[in-house]
C-alpha cells in the first residue's frame, strides 16, 4: 500500500486523484442507492437481490409439530454474484474507516519510514479482517459441531444446503478478497508490489470460490479458520515488531504453527477428499443435485490444495532464510568505530611533488587549474 499524501489543493472532479481521495465517499453513495432501493416497490426486488442472501429453502425439522421446528437453509447460485458485489462495496468502506480512524492516527504518532508505513497498513488491515473472520468462523464451527464430529466433513455429501451464517460467511469472504483488487488502485500500490498482491488474492479467490461451488464448504470453513488464526498471529507479531524491534517471540510461534497448519491442511484434505468422498455412497457427476464426486474432480481439488500449500511453504522458507541472513550479517561483520586521526604535517617531499598546493594524487584532491595555451 502506498502512502497517500494529503494536499490542500482540490483536484479536478473525476480525475484520478479526486477518485482516490474520495473513493470511500463515492462507494458509500453507491451502497446507499441500493439501501434506498428497498423503500420503493419498483426497485425493491432489485435491491433485495444485492443486499440479502438468496436461494432460501425452508425445511421442517419434525413434521406435524409447531413452526419453531422450521429451519431455513440456503444453497448457492448465480444471484450470489450480486450479493458478493454489494458486500465488496461494504468491505471498501470498512477498509477506509479502519485506515483513516485507526491506522493513520497511529502512523502519525510513530513516524514510520515509507517501507514500514506500507507494511504497517497492510498488517493492520489484515489483522482486523483475520480477527473478525476467525471469530465468526469459530462460532459457526461450534454451533454446527463440525469439530466434535469430523465425519460430518464428508458424510452426506453433497452439502448443497447451508445455514444462513455459513452462506453469509462465504459471501463475506468472497466480497472481501474481491475488494483488494480496486484497493490496489485506491491505495496507490507500488508496481513491484502488485504481482505479489494479485497472486495472494487469486489464491484466496480460487480456493474459496472452488470450495463454495463444489459444495465443499464444511472442509473449507475448517481450513480457513485455522489458516486465519495462523495469519492473524503473523500480522499481530509484525505490528508489535514495528513498535519494538526486540519483540520477535511472536514470529517463532508463528513459524511453528505455520508448518503445523500446512500439515493439518494436507492431512484433512486427503482424509476428506481422498478417502471420505472416495468411499461415499453417492458417486458420479450430477449438476442438478450439486454432486461433483468423481475421480477427476477429486484429483483436481487435491492437486490445487497441494500446489497452494507448496507455494506457501516455498515463500515461508525464503522468508526464514532472508531473516536468518539479515540477523547473521551484522554479527559476522561488526562495525568498528573509527578513531579520529590527527592531521599529519606535509613533508618536504610531499610539498615538492605538489603543484600550486595540489598533490599528485588527483583522485583525492581538487583539480589543478589548466593553463591557457597561447
Tell me the pLDDT of the chain (374 aa) as tens digits. 544 555 556 888 878 889 999 999 999 999 999 999 999 999 999 999 999 999 999 887 665 555 557 788 999 999 999 999 999 999 999 999 999 999 999 988 888 888 788 899 999 999 999 999 999 999 999 999 998 899 999 999 999 999 999 999 999 999 999 999 999 999 988 899 899 999 999 999 999 999 999 999 999 999 999 999 999 999 999 999 988 888 888 899 999 999 999 999 999 999 999 999 999 888 899 998 999 999 999 999 999 999 999 999 999 999 889 888 877 765 545 555 555 555 555 554 444 444 444 444 444 444 444 444 43
- Residue 328: the pLDDT is 77
Judge contact between 123 and 235, C-beta under 8 A. Answer: yes
Contact 121/188 with Cβ under 8 angstroms?
Answer: no
Q: What is the pLDDT of residue 282?
A: 86
- Could you give the CA distance from residue 218 to residue 144 in angstroms, rounded to a whole number? 10
**What is the pLDDT, as a whole number, of residue 369?**
47
Residue 347 CB contacts under 8 Å (≥ 6 apart), including other chains: none
pLDDT computed for residue 352 by the predictor: 44
| Rounded CA separation 128/331 (Å) | 36
Element (H, E) at 58: strand 56-60
Residue whose grid cell is 513491484: 192
User: Residue 359's pLDDT is what?
Assistant: 44
212 contact partners, CB below 8 Å, separation of at least 6 = 76, 170, 174, 220
Reported as type and span, the H/E element at residue 269 is: helix 249-269
Helix (H) or strand (E) holding 291: strand 291-293
pLDDT of residue 201: 96
- What's the confidence (pLDDT) of residue 11? 82
In the chain, the N- to C-terminal Cα span, in Å, equals 63
16 SS3 class: helix
Amino acid at each position: 500500500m502506498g502512502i497517500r499524501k494529503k494536499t490542500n489543493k482540490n483536484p479536478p472532479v473525476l480525475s484520478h486523484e479526486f477518485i482516490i481521495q474520495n473513493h470511500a465517499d463515492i462507494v458509500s453513495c453507491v451502497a446507499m442507492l441500493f439501501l434506498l432501493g428497498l423503500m420503493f416497490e419498483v426497485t425493491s426486488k432489485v435491491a433485495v437481490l444485492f443486499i440479502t442472501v438468496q436461494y432460501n429453502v425452508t425445511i421442517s425439522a419434525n413434521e406435524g409439530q409447531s413452526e419453531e421446528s422450521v429451519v431455513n437453509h440456503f444453497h448457492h447460485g448465480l444471484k450470489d454474484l450480486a450479493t458478493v458485489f454489494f458486500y465488496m462495496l461494504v468491505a471498501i468502506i470498512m477498509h477506509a474507516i479502519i485506515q483513516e480512524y485507526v491506522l493513520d492516527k497511529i502512523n502519525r504518532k510513530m513516524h514510520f519510514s515509507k517501507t514500514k508505513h506500507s507494511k504497517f497498513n497492510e498488517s493492520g488491515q489484515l489483522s482486523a479482517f483475520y480477527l473478525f473472520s476467525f471469530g465468526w468462523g469459530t462460532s459457526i464451527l461450534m454451533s454446527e459441531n463440525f469439530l466434535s464430529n469430523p465425519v460430518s466433513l464428508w458424510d452426506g455429501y453433497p452439502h448443497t444446503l447451508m445455514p444462513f451464517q455459513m452462506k453469509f460467511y462465504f459471501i463475506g469472504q468472497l466480497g472481501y478478497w474481491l475488494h483488494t483488487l480496486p484497493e490496489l488502485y485506491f491505495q496507490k500500490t507500488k508496481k513491484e508490489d502488485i504481482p505479489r498482491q494479485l497472486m495472494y488474492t487469486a489464491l484466496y479467490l480460487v480456493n474459496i470460490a472452488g470450495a463454495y461451488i463444489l459444495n465443499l464448504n464444511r472442509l473449507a470453513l475448517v481450513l480457513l479458520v485455522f489458516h486465519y488464526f495462523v495469519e492473524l498471529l503473523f500480522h499481530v507479531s509484525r505490528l508489535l515488531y514495528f513498535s519494538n524491534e526486540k519483540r520477535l517471540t511472536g514470529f517463532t510461534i508463528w513459524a511453528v504453527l505455520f508448518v503445523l497448519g500446512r500439515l493439518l491442511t494436507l492431512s484433512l484434505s486427503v482424509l476428506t477428499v481422498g478417502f471420505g468422498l472416495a468411499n461415499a455412497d453417492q458417486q458420479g457427476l450430477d449438476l442438478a443435485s450439486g454432486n461433483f464426486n468423481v475421480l477427476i474432480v477429486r484429483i483436481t481439488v487435491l492437486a490445487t490444495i497441494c500446489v497452494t500449500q507448496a507455494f506457501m511453504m516455498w515463500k515461508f522458507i525464503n522468508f526464514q532464510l532472508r531473516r536468518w541472513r539479515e540477523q547473521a550479517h551484522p554479527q559476522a561483520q561488526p562495525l568498528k568505530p573509527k578513531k579520529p586521526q590527527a592531521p599529519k604535517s606535509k613533508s618536504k617531499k610531499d610539498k615538492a611533488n605538489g603543484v600550486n598546493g595540489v598533490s599528485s594524487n588527483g583522485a583525492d584532491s581538487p583539480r589543478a587549474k589548466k593553463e591557457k595555451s597561447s
